[in-house]
């Protein structure tokens, strides 16, 4: 009976040693792998988040002070515009403040007074408010422009002036 107990105990002890050895080996492998990954991340750190302020102003592109905010609940609107090369927009005005980022091409904005501003790829622009103007793509590639409007419900983003002919 004692011999059988030692034999069973010996087998259990052997099994425990095998399990313990397996755990040590797999744990060591995990630690080594984790160390290698940590070293790889240390050698190739993730790029830091960068922020670049593109514009901060209280004036539109023509130097005119922006109006005070509207009273009431705001409605923010984002619009992507695509202007084919050679395209001219009709005369219009914006009753609400708006600004944007030109991501491709060049856009020339012309005020009714003849004042011009050419916005280049990557630049921000603050549009005129309540001042009649139009835009032209004088370049050879399409313009892509993202505009952001600080509006209110039921207000138009732009009011067209078809009575003013384009030249």
For 75-160, CATH number?
A: 2.60.120.10
Every domain of the chain and the residues it spans:
1-50, 75-160
pLDDT per residue as tens digits for the range 49-106: 999 999 999 999 999 999 999 999 999 999 999 999 999 999 999 999 999 999 999 9
* DSSP conformational letter for 88: B
Angle of CA points 52, 147, 59, to nearest 5°: 70
The DSSP annotation for 33-77 comes to HHHHHHHHHHHSPPPPP--------SB-TTSPBPPPPPSS--EEE
pLDDT-above-90 percentage for the chain: 71
Full-model pTM: 0.71
């Amino acid at each position: 009976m004692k011999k059988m107990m030692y034999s069973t105990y010996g087998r259990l002890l052997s099994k425990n040693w095998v399990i313990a050895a397996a755990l040590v080996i797999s744990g060591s492998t995990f630690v080594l792998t984790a160390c290698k990954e940590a070293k790889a991340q240390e050698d190739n750190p993730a790029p830091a988040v960068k922020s670049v302020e593109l514009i901060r102003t209280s004036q539109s592109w023509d130097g005119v002070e922006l109006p005070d905010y509207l009273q009431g609940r705001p409605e923010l609107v984002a619009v992507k515009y695509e202007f084919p090369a050679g395209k001219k927009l009709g005369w219009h005005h914006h009753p609400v403040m708006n600004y944007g980022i030109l991501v491709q091409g060049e856009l020339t904005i012309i005020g009714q007074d003849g004042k011009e501003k050419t916005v280049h790829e990557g630049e921000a622009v603050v549009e005129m408010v309540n001042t009649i103007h139009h835009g032209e793509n004088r370049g050879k590639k399409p313009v892509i422009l993202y505009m952001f409007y600080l509006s209110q419900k039921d207000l138009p983003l732009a009011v067209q002036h078809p009575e003013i002919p384009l030249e």
